[in-house]
Amino acid sequence: MSEQLSTLRYYLEFDFVRYAIIVGLLISLCASLLGVTLVLKRFSFIGDGLSHVAFGAIAVSSVLTFGLRAIGSEATGRLAEVLSENNHTVIVLPLTVLAAVLLLRTGQNTKIKGDAAVAMISVGSLAIGYLLMNRFPSSSNISGDVCSTLFGSTSILTLKGSDVVVCSVMAAIVIVTFVVFYNKIFAVTFDESFTRASGVNAGLYNLMIAIITAVIIVISMNLVGSLLISALIIFPSLSAMRILRSFRGVVICSAVISVFCAGVGIILSILYSTPVGSTIVAADIAVFLIFSFLSLFRKGR
Amino acid sequence: MEENEKKAPEREKQLVCRNASLGYEGQTVTEGLDFSVCRGDYLCILGENGSGKSTLVKAILGLRPQISGEIEWCGGVKANEIGYLPQQTVVQRDFPASVREIVRSGCLAKTGLRPFFNHEEKKLAESTMKQLGIDSLAKRCYRDLSGGQQQRVLLARALCATRKMLLLDEPVTGLDPRAQLDLYELITNLNKQGITIIMVSHDVAAAVRYASHILHIGSHRQLFFGTTAEYTASGVGQSFLAAEETYGASAPSEEKEAEADE
């Protein structure tokens, strides 16, 4: 144990480890906040769908970068640098937001219903993304690239100070928005038609939820990769819902669970050199099982 | 008839619908809707499934505009000032929220851009819960309540939104007979306190017993609009009431749903 503690202390002296922990905790906090709403609105899979869109967008952006570099002039070269900075956020974020808005709008008036639309966009972008990556490889190690995009790369451990700042700012925006609009988000989640009928602009808040979801997914790509983001979004809130009976309780509890699991996951992954994303998700699953077990002892159902 | 005339001078119109056609995606569901609702009325909208009742509800709420004709608000009521009691959705059945949280969310429109509820809004929520006899449930979880209690919670929320007009969409569906009766009594009491009620239903017997006015929509057109007394005297009303007696009310289908729920 003491040996592990000293290993941990040794690692914690490095900036990049501290950065990883800060970013990991912030991301998991954001994801769990929105998770409650998404699970209750029956949009658990939107995280999955959007992260695949983000994957496709990364592929598009890499290909663009590659193409621009190939042209070779100074201007295009600089453009390519801009694109590839911060894991292609310049292209990935707008595309993902767009997809989120389209998906969450699938209410009454669409030909393709919610879950089908999510599935379609999800697998569609996955396929196109992989196709592009394969056809126009941006590095020699394609399968490594794909794998790290899907399962979260070690890039969480190669964060620069500026990445941490960007991530913290985005996380702060998400958290502040959530707190300020908490009552509105609750109303829209519980009963959209009533909220609309009483004169609240429910469409606006739905749009806001969509945009925040997209932002969270893009910033959490680094941490757990696009296949595991759903876990970060749904597990904490599902665990909290097992035990707690009020919306506020569920939100607070899922935030605590999520941050705790992310912390434990990151530390374990450092100690035992396991993949960061999978370890965090494994911690989330463990907590979910424990809470499910505890819920058996509650009165009532 | 006579009663109607006696009331006439003090009656102030709140909602007027003139020759409205409703539908969606270019398809007309029902047309020629012509009716008005006055302050303190208890209007029951009857019709078979698919006759356009829910489309009419959406039009009244302004969620889906009418194809043609007019739906006009007057007498100090605005389109966005209706307390709406929607049909329960799947999402709500297992929603982890306390009764107090849900009732308070009725005050949301009053908050505007302010992020949190103020003292008055919280007090309004508490007093409304007391009024509907659910103050003892305030900390309970919505999904653990019985169907009748859940409807009271949603009714309390609607009353927090407005005291002018309530629009109830099949409020008793899925409730056991006892809870149905309780809810009808409660609604009648609210109506006596001066709240205008519009209720969508397919329970003809209850409509005739409780409502002051009836709007009956058939397939594609309006069959009847007038006071309840006129309805029971009219051909449409008599034929439906007779059918009701013969087949033992439309209740069986609802009771089945109630059983399935438990």
Q: Is A196 on the interface with B (CB under 8 A)?
A: yes
Decide if A72 is inside a domain: yes
Contact A301 B158 (CB under 8 A): no
**pLDDT interval class at B261 (50, 70, 90):** very low
Residues of A with CB below 8 A from B155's CB? none
Contact B116 A193 (CB under 8 A): no
pLDDT digits (tens, 9 = 90+) for B188-227: 988 888 888 999 988 888 888 888 888 888 777 788 888 8
Q: Which of A109, A180, A193 sits opposite B115 (nearest CB)?
A: A180
pLDDT digits (tens, 9 = 90+) for B159-171: 998 888 889 988 8
Comparing alpha-carbon positions, the chain B residue that sits nearest to A193 is B86
Residues of B with CB below 8 A from A40's CB? 91, 95-96
ipTM of the complex: 0.79
- The structural domain count of chain A equals 1
pLDDT digits (tens, 9 = 90+) for A131-167: 887 877 766 666 666 776 666 655 566 667 777 888 8
Q: Which of A42, A198, A250 sits opposite B161 (nearest CB)?
A: A198
**CATH number of A231's domain:** 1.10.3470.10
Decide if A100 is inside a domain: yes
Domain hosting residue A117, numbered range:
2-294
Contact B96 A247 (CB under 8 A): yes
Contact A183 B111 (CB under 8 A): yes
Q: Is A193 on the interface with B (CB under 8 A)?
A: yes
| 3-state DSSP of chain A | CHHHHHHHHHHHCCHHHHHHHHHHHHHHHHHHHHHHHHHHCCCCCHHHHHHHHHHHHHHHHHHHHHHHHHHCCHHHHHHHHHHHHHHHHHHHHHHHHHHHHHHHHCCCCCCCCHHHHHHHHHHHHHHHHHHHHHHCCCCCCHHHHHHHHHHCCHHHHHCCHHHHHHHHHHHHHHHHHHHHCHHHHHHHHHCHHHHHHCCCCHHHHHHHHHHHHHHHHHHHHHHHCCCCHHHHHHHHHHHHHHHCCCHHHHHHHHHHHHHHHHHHHHHHHHHHCCCHHHHHHHHHHHHHHHHHHHHCCCCCC
Contact B105 A248 (CB under 8 A): no
Decide if A118 is inside a domain: yes
Contact A195 B108 (CB under 8 A): yes
**Does the pLDDT at position A258 exceed 90?**
yes
Q: Is A200 on the interface with B (CB under 8 A)?
A: yes
Comparing alpha-carbon positions, the chain A residue that sits nearest to B116 is A183
Decide if A299 is inside a domain: no
Contact B157 A184 (CB under 8 A): no
Decide if A301 is inside a domain: no
pLDDT digits (tens, 9 = 90+) for A3-44: 878 888 888 888 878 888 888 899 899 999 989 988 888 777
